[in-house]
Structure 1
Amino acid sequence: MHKPAPSTSSQKTRAGKPPLTVRLASPRGFCAGVERAIRTVEEALALHGAPVYVRHEIVHNTHVVARLSAMGAVFVENLETVPKDRPVVFSAHGAPQSAHMDASARGLIKIDATCPLVLKVHNQIRRHDMAGRTVILIGHRNHPEVMGSMGQAPDGAVILVETLADVAALPCLRGPLAYSTQTTLSVDETKDMIAALKARFPDIAGPAREDICYATSNRQDAVKAAAKECDLFVVIGSATSSNSTRLVETAKIAGAADAALVEDAGKFDWARLEGVTTLGLSAGASAPESLVEEFLTALAARRKLRLDHIETARENVVFNTPLRLAS
């Protein structure tokens, strides 16, 4: 009796796992500001004992938050629930001046883990306000970093724009103007926004150097270099992470046929690997490298991997822990 030829899938099974090229983007994962913020909570717990309260998620990653919670960190949105004898850490995203004043008025032990590059934007906005300039802030509404930046000046002194359409819709503003940006935006999109602002308001003042942080730029550059030949590009990170979301957008624009933001290997839809022969991989600035390793391990259980390391920069930036921890 004639037997039918084995199917393609059975041929693959006999030959072993099907091959998969993984283009691993670098730099990826934790940046200096995220490392500093996490280290701040860990050192506060060691110095003061549990619980240590944290205003907002210290960084936007559920795994990091869960680990610190298990160590004794308590994450709150409102300082009213923080006992007066306990420390409160302000997250890497920064906070409006009103939150700092509230903490001081209540006599809380205040520890500021705001990323120094976000603090640079805060200082710019305060200086512009003192000089009588209205600030146009490029960013995403309701993101904690944007809320903190807008809270560095009185109501109405900072105008938020999210899109080119928002810039076009701005009224004919009178008086001196300046602009600042959220630090985790798409580099290319922000350049277009700044160009549109300068076209509308030729005398608008801006920062001497761009506000988008080095880590955001470096990770986007690495994704651009790695994404061009990918059937699928995976970014490890949480849905609330702005810089991770921008990496997914960057991968698609750079030429990846498809791109996905994934919390971890357990949340990935493995059916998406069907037909994929080249996969790109990166991680947002708040995602631990351990999640990348776990994803690679899960990939290796299913496919025969060939790793291509795409490195576009090397980072050696370190930010010191806040001095208040030493007291």
Structure 2
Amino acid sequence: MTETPTIKPPLKILLCAPRGFCAGVVRAIDIVEAALKRFGPPVYVRHEIVHNRFVVDALRAKGAVFIEELDEAPDGDAPVVFSAHGVPKSVPEAARARNLLAIDATCPLVTKVHREAEIHHKRGRLVLLIGHAGHPEVVGTMGQLPDGAVTLIETEADVARLSLPPDRDLAYVTQTTLSVDDTAGVVAAIRRRFPAVYGPHKEDICYATTNRQEAVKRVAPECDALIVVGAENSSNSQRLREVAERAGCPVSRLVARATDIDWSEFTGLSTLGVTAGASAPEVLVEEIVDAFSARYAVTVEMVSTADESVFFPLPRELRPPAA
């Protein structure tokens, strides 16, 4: 008896663009690979170079050794790469004291925030840092200045609780991977209470975070569900999921790999949105699309809201010699 072939239900996938790797992530990964090529393994990397297990495991297979603290690296001239999130000033100082070969993979847009905070501090201003407590980028930014020079602000309620003299000189900077809308609310609350506060000349939330959130805002209202490809500890990926939820998407989920999909949440779909956090490689997006193609008759439509052409060069010590 011939079996009747199962007819797959149709599914339109709206693929957000831009999505996935940003210039800072590409540079950070390239730095580790260039260091492995130049110096050979092992190359020590303090903290996950970017927040994605797939990327970390791929670099580990090539000879990168991931450590959480500098004292896990042996004494001597072993290369140690600092992650894209940035580190407190005490970390490179400790590396120099031990003669380690320190290579800084901090995203240049994070470094921009560090420099802004330093300038405000030199000018006598208390720095308000809008960000998430404990995130490596926030730890790194606060660690650029002496204790007490930076006050962390997470919510508008934190602004209301500030107890400062009316004549205190203030400035604010932000983590680069925040929700654009949430941050606008916190900034507005700061400006209402402290109209003379100094802000960045150009917003600190990076172009990649902004662009990926804008694409999700465009797509989410048209979808029955939306998947953000990314890691649980990735701030920019978590914000994309929240943006989709707020934009009216009934189901928005953060998924690391296709094997993590809870299929009970993705039945009876007609339209699915897919995007990826700035530290998620495109191969994982393709994996997700393939998983849906096994269950649905998929058509893919690209929804683009911005073109990105940003490029950050490698640090000088890893650039190929001039011809």
TM-score computed with the length of structure 1 as normaliser? 0.94
Q: Which residue, 149, 155, 162 being the options, matches 1:163?
A: 155
Greater Cα offset, 172-181 or 219-228 = 172-181
Q: Aligned partners of 1:79 and 1:249: how far apart in 2? A: 34
Q: Report the AA paired with residue 42 of structure 2.
A: P
Unmatched runs of 5 consecutive residues or more in structure 1:
1-12
Q: Report the AA paired with residue 161 of structure 2.
A: A
Is the aligned partner of 1:77 residue 2:68? Answer: yes
Identify the residue that residue 291 of structure 1 maps to in structure 2.
284
Identify the residue that residue 9 of structure 1 maps to in structure 2.
none
Identify the residue that residue 31 of structure 2 maps to in structure 1.
40
Identify the residue that residue 140 of structure 2 maps to in structure 1.
148
Q: Aligned partners of 2:61 and 2:301: how far apart in 1? A: 36
Greater Cα offset, 197-206 or 273-282 = 273-282
Q: Report the AA paired with residue 199 of structure 1.
A: R
Identify the residue that residue 307 of structure 2 maps to in structure 1.
314
Deviation of 1:275 (Å): 2.1
Identity percentage over the alignment?
56
Identify the residue that residue 5 of structure 1 maps to in structure 2.
none
After superposition, the C-alpha distances for 1:141-170 in whole angstroms (9 at most, x for unaligned) are 000000000001100000001111111111
After superposition, the C-alpha distances for 1:231-265 in whole angstroms (9 at most, x for unaligned) are 11100000000000000000011121110000010
Unmatched runs of 5 consecutive residues or more in structure 2:
none
Identify the residue that residue 4 of structure 1 maps to in structure 2.
none
Please say which structure displays the higher CA radius of gyration: 1
* 1:153 partner SS: coil
Q: Aligned partners of 1:324 and 1:254: how far apart in 2? A: 45
Identify the residue that residue 95 of structure 1 maps to in structure 2.
87
After superposition, the C-alpha distances for 1:157-215 in whole angstroms (9 at most, x for unaligned) are 00001111111111124521000000000001101110000001111101111000000
Q: Report the AA paired with residue 64 of structure 1.
A: V
Identify the residue that residue 51 of structure 2 maps to in structure 1.
60
Where in structure 2 are the equivalents of 1:206-221 lying within 5 Å? 206-221=199-214
* 2:173 partner SS: strand
RMSD: 1.1
Q: Aligned partners of 1:237 and 1:179: how far apart in 2? A: 29
Is the aligned partner of 1:172 residue 2:149? Answer: no
Q: Aligned partners of 1:112 and 1:310: how far apart in 2? A: 35
Identify the residue that residue 104 of structure 2 maps to in structure 1.
112
After superposition, the C-alpha distances for 1:9-28 in whole angstroms (9 at most, x for unaligned) are xxxx8561011111110000
Q: Report the AA paired with residue 78 of structure 1.
A: E
Q: Aligned partners of 1:228 and 1:303: how far apart in 2? A: 21
After superposition, the C-alpha distances for 1:250-301 in whole angstroms (9 at most, x for unaligned) are 0011121110000010111122111221111000000000000111111101
Q: Report the AA paired with residue 175 of structure 2.
A: Q
Where in structure 2 are the equivalents of 1:178-217 lying within 5 Å? 178-217=171-210
Q: Report the AA paired with residue 263 of structure 2.
A: W
* 1:308 partner SS: strand
Q: Aligned partners of 1:191 and 1:121: how far apart in 2? A: 17
